[in-house]
Amino acid sequence: MKYQVILFDLDGTLTDPKIGITKSVQYALTRFNIAEPDLDRLIPFIGPPLVESFQEFYALTATEAKAAVGYYREYFTQSGMYENAVYPGIKDLLVKLTGSATELIIATSKPTIFSEQIIAHFGLSHLFKAIVGSHLDGSRIHKTEIIAYILSQLPQVAREGIIMVGDRKHDIIGAQNNGIDSIGVSYGYGSAVEIQQANPNYIAASVGELDNLLTKLLLA
């Protein structure tokens, strides 16, 4: 078996969080008197650290962006967290992977506590060895840091035996920075161009393609 451990991004890879995340961002922006009626314009917030996205896309200062994350969480914890759906075919894939004795771990920039609640909401908690995300205080928000922490907890597994699956360049770059392989999925919220330019080891355009690819890799 080529890979003993598979790291999965959450948003845009296992679940489609578009409505919940974009509405949470929309709510936060209103607190700064910014009206954004088009949720599609907020899609770029899915995946990267929120505090950086508020600064990049709406020119908030670092202090304002930190406050915006707090406002975001007001909506997200009440409603947005559950305005979400598991991509068709993902649960079957996860069950099959755990049946092959592969360990599955979630590696996400979303705070760990929210990620745990979302995975529990969808009845998937038992399929993962661990769920690792960022801290509520704004630390450990970058995928490179998150993956590094996970690897520190797996000293018995060679890096050649671990692979990261994600839909944004941050997932691929984080994997590369930690010396592990990666699969870029283009069915999420990173464009095909973004994924290709990040240069992952493999690319899957659908959950079905991801299923076939992982099956081949695990039998290699």
State the pTM of this model: 0.93
Share of the chain above pLDDT 90, in %: 95
Instruction: Please check whether residues 212 and 112 belong to one and the same domain.
Output: yes
Out of 43, 67, 82, pick the residue that ends a domain.
Answer: 82
Out of 45, 64, 82, pick the residue that ends a domain.
Answer: 82
Share of the chain above pLDDT 70, in %: 99
Q: What is the DSSP string of 169-197?
A: HHHHHHHHHTT-EEEEETTSSS-HHHHHH
Residues recognised as catalytic: 9
To the nearest whole number, what is the mean pLDDT of the chain?
96
Q: Where is 79: in which H helix or E strand? A: none
- Write the pLDDT tens digit of every residue in 188-197: 999 999 999 9
Instruction: Please check whether residues 91 and 186 belong to one and the same domain.
Output: yes
Q: For residues 30 and 83, what is the distance between their CA atoms, to the nearest angstrom?
A: 19
Instruction: Please check whether residues 60 and 110 belong to one and the same domain.
Output: no
Strands 103-111, 162-166: pairing is unpaired
Could you tell me the CATH number of the domain that includes residue 207?
3.40.50.1000
Residue found by looking up tokens 């008197």 in the block: 33
- Write the pLDDT tens digit of every residue in 88-138: 999 999 999 998 889 999 999 999 999 999 999 999 999 999 999 999 998
Could you tell me the CATH number of the domain that includes residue 75?
1.10.150.240
The 10 Å Cβ neighbour count of residue 179 is 11
**What is the number of structural domains in the chain?**
2
Instruction: Please check whether residues 100 and 172 belong to one and the same domain.
Output: yes
Instruction: Please check whether residues 96 and 201 belong to one and the same domain.
Output: yes
The residue range of the domain holding 75 is: 18-82
